[in-house]
Structure 1
């Protein structure tokens, strides 16, 4: 049985939906914190069990009978993030999984400027040490992150952010399709995958131009000093440590940690990846 964690989240839900087009529902199980939110999957014949990365005993039940376990990274950073991932890895090993898959990031590195990428690197080390074959999905930077920055700027017409570098923004839908394909073709990748990226690496200068085209309202890119940006975030109520983590994204992009454009995702999809402009259009239409 293929077990998918976090199956009610933005990425996890789409992965399960795509997976059900490739394998029978009785071969799919999900581990979720709130089973009621996964009722749609249960109605289709998917096994739904409660599981949390903070509850090793609960994960043992959620992962029972697993042939593969897909661990979707938690929305946390630092020691707590890596600790939860290790709990999930240990549970997958104990369940007898033949392979563990993990949603990592293209910039995963112990020396990254961005905390999340350092966390991904630490999780990958735990996977290497666990004794079970693994696949680390080196996902491109989520395009919805760019869309959130743009959404905040459209009203004012000012995209005021720190200096940045090119980023291979990648759509959740494309990564879900690719992940389902990899799960259905067990063992296609061993260890870290090549970067699974969109077709272009874009700076926020280019994104401002795309936002102007998409909305019909001029969006001007303005570069602000890192310190000023941090102060603005804190003044808006963002916790200081979170503000520092957001700044890490810009420092990492300036170091070109997210600049690689790789053809692997295109090959897996059998088509060109979704363009950032399409993601922006869809996101802004919801606001």
Structure 2
């Protein structure tokens, strides 16, 4: 059995890649990334020394992906970074290429709410279309619908507050969400890639229930920084994000933006928290990995550098981590 991990140079794919190296021998693994020349040399060296096959697989290049996926049996497919029709086409390319290459099973990273009524998060149309295409393709699959990532509220929210005189601005109000840690999603993806999920089953992947206000208070207490939690309506929040140069879409100009996310994504996600849509609780993490989801308090020290170093933009992170 050979396993393919797409986006192995990224945050989610990278976690899955690292986990898989602890589960199977390197010669059973194919790691792909969109641009091999941008892969860190030390990482490539470690992988190749362990017997991993490392190939380039750009989601826009179906023929390249067919070659990259050749010899693989099961594939982990991380979602693309764009939002809109381009991403849907990229995902279709991956599915088509995998099937053409002889892949027998695909694990896809989707988003919570893709199968539910009343959800209007900006990213959902892409995931809904991808899920439908995957299910109609005939290949065996598992779908993991991740909730909002916990790290975003320990990094991005704090950075934006640091940028604005410690004002933690949101539309989430007092709503709660089962934010999920990326390490937990990586473990779930690894389990599904290894075949530990049920046949053609979808999984909602959720963490512990907590509000953004509670996270703000946790950080205020441990940091000693007097972060002020401010809730706005959607129109006010859009105006606020405009004022700090966060583009409305993923095609915008990010040269002055403190974060790599778009306003449409941020506003609809946090409004979903306010409205209780992101409070779904499941036992997926424990069932598939044998471990309970990460408690937000466990990650506070790991990301304490954000307030200690007064980081104000995502682009500074590489300088201090």
TM norm structure 1: 0.92
Which of 144, 159, 177 is residue 151 of structure 1 equivalent to?
A: 159
Unaligned runs of 5+ in 1: none
Do 1:214 and 1:277's aligned partners in 2 also have CA atoms closer than 8 Å? no
In the alignment, the residues of structure 1 paired with residue 301 and residue 200 of structure 2 have an alpha-carbon distance, to the nearest angstrom, of 35
Classify the secondary structure of the residue corresponding to 2:102: coil
1:13 is displaced (CA, Å) by 0.8
Moved more, 51-60 or 267-276: 267-276
* Distance change >3 Å, CA 150–CA 197, structure 1 → 2: same
In the alignment, the residues of structure 2 paired with residue 166 and residue 65 of structure 1 have an alpha-carbon distance, to the nearest angstrom, of 44
Q: Deviations over 1:215-249 (max 9, x none)?
A: 12222211122212211212222223332232111
Q: Deviations over 1:66-118 (max 9, x none)?
A: 10111100111111111110100100111111111111122224752112122
In the alignment, the residues of structure 1 paired with residue 220 and residue 75 of structure 2 have an alpha-carbon distance, to the nearest angstrom, of 42
Classify the secondary structure of the residue corresponding to 1:188: coil
In the alignment, the residues of structure 2 paired with residue 58 and residue 153 of structure 1 have an alpha-carbon distance, to the nearest angstrom, of 43
* Distance change >3 Å, CA 109–CA 119, structure 1 → 2: farther
Q: Deviations over 1:164-212 (max 9, x none)?
A: 421111111111122212222x2623334332211x2222221111111
Classify the secondary structure of the residue corresponding to 1:281: coil
Q: Deviations over 1:7-39 (max 9, x none)?
A: 000111111111111111111101112324151
Which of 264, 278, 299 is residue 258 of structure 1 equivalent to?
A: 278
Classify the secondary structure of the residue corresponding to 1:89: helix
Do 1:211 and 1:277's aligned partners in 2 also have CA atoms closer than 8 Å? no
Matches within 5 A, 1:61-140: 61-109=67-115, 112-140=119-147
Classify the secondary structure of the residue corresponding to 1:88: helix
Q: Deviations over 1:131-186 (max 9, x none)?
A: 111111122321122121123225633212114421111111111122212222x2
Matches within 5 A, 1:17-96: 17-36=18-37, 37=39, 38-39=43-44, 40-96=46-102
In the alignment, the residues of structure 2 paired with residue 213 and residue 267 of structure 1 have an alpha-carbon distance, to the nearest angstrom, of 33
Q: Figure out how many residues of one structure are paired with residues of the other and give that number.
A: 285
Which of 223, 247, 268 is residue 239 of structure 1 equivalent to?
A: 247
Do 1:19 and 1:181's aligned partners in 2 also have CA atoms closer than 8 Å? no
Unaligned runs of 5+ in 2: 250-261, 312-321
- Match in the other structure for 1:206: 214
- Match in the other structure for 1:160: 169
Do 1:101 and 1:135's aligned partners in 2 also have CA atoms closer than 8 Å? yes
In the alignment, the residues of structure 1 paired with residue 189 and residue 274 of structure 2 have an alpha-carbon distance, to the nearest angstrom, of 28
In the alignment, the residues of structure 2 paired with residue 28 and residue 247 of structure 1 have an alpha-carbon distance, to the nearest angstrom, of 38
In the alignment, the residues of structure 1 paired with residue 182 and residue 70 of structure 2 have an alpha-carbon distance, to the nearest angstrom, of 28
In the alignment, the residues of structure 1 paired with residue 217 and residue 244 of structure 2 have an alpha-carbon distance, to the nearest angstrom, of 26
Classify the secondary structure of the residue corresponding to 2:226: coil
In the alignment, the residues of structure 1 paired with residue 201 and residue 121 of structure 2 have an alpha-carbon distance, to the nearest angstrom, of 19
Verify: 1:222 aligned to 2:230, yes or no. yes
Root-mean-square deviation (Å): 1.9
In the alignment, the residues of structure 2 paired with residue 202 and residue 190 of structure 1 have an alpha-carbon distance, to the nearest angstrom, of 32
